[in-house]
Amino acid sequence: MSELEAVYEMEDGTRLEIRPLKASDEKAWLDFVNGLSPDSLYHRLFQVRKPFSHGDTGHFLEISPEKRTAVVAVTRGKIVAVARYELAPGSKIGEFAIVVGDNYQNKGLGSFLLGILADHAKSKGIEELVAEMFPDNERMLELCRKSGYRMDSKVESDTRIIKLHLQ
């Protein structure tokens, strides 16, 4: 099992498979993002937008260890959460983001995925993971605070920037 593979058991006994996102997940990924509530999508992307379609998936589904790493939580073929980080060429600082499906929020899944993603990034020598969010996104702030990694947080022009120090 790779570092990015795990099983997350929810309180109700549902077992979620955690694994890397693959190019062949396109349909499941589209169903997931297009099924998010406007509020969840807005908090993830900072914008209200039209539904995603085939032409929009390139950026999100092109995975390569040098550039983009993403894990998904899956049950019965359905994606229910995605966590990812991106690296600029040659950089040791990753930009990360997490989105958990509305019916799965507040059940510890986001925290679990952050743990997997951050431990993996650390093992690859990444020094920091940085995320941008709305300043009122208390859940994301709390999740990062409890990650076990040293955290800095600052608010700049209506955006909260969180930095997790991995090394």
Ligand X SMILES: CC(C)(COP(=O)(O)OP(=O)(O)OC[C@H]1O[C@@H](n2cnc3c(N)ncnc32)[C@H](O)[C@@H]1OP(=O)(O)O)[C@@H](O)C(=O)NCCC(=O)NCCS
Q: Which is nearer to ligand X, 108 or 135 (CB)?
A: 108
How far apart are the C-alpha atoms of 83 and 37, rounded to whole Å?
17
Considering beta carbons, is residue 30 or 82 the nearer one to ligand X?
Answer: 82
Distance CA 27, CA 72 (A): 13
CB 78, min distance to ligand X, A: 16
Residue ranges binding ligand X (CB under 6 A): 40, 43-44, 97-100, 105-111, 131, 133, 137-140, 142-143, 146
Who's near 39: CB < 8 A, 6+ residues apart? none
Q: Which distant-in-sequence residues (6+ apart) come within 8 Å of 27 by Cβ?
A: none
Judged by CB, which is closer to ligand X: 4, or 129?
129
Q: What is the CA radius of gyration of the chain?
A: 15
Least distance from C-beta 81 to ligand X, angstroms? 7
**Which residue type sits at 68?**
R
Q: At its nearest, how many Å lie between ligand X and the CB of residue 24?
A: 24
Complex with ligand X: residue 79 or 143, whichever CB lies closer = 143
Q: CB neighbours (10 Å) of residue 41?
A: 20
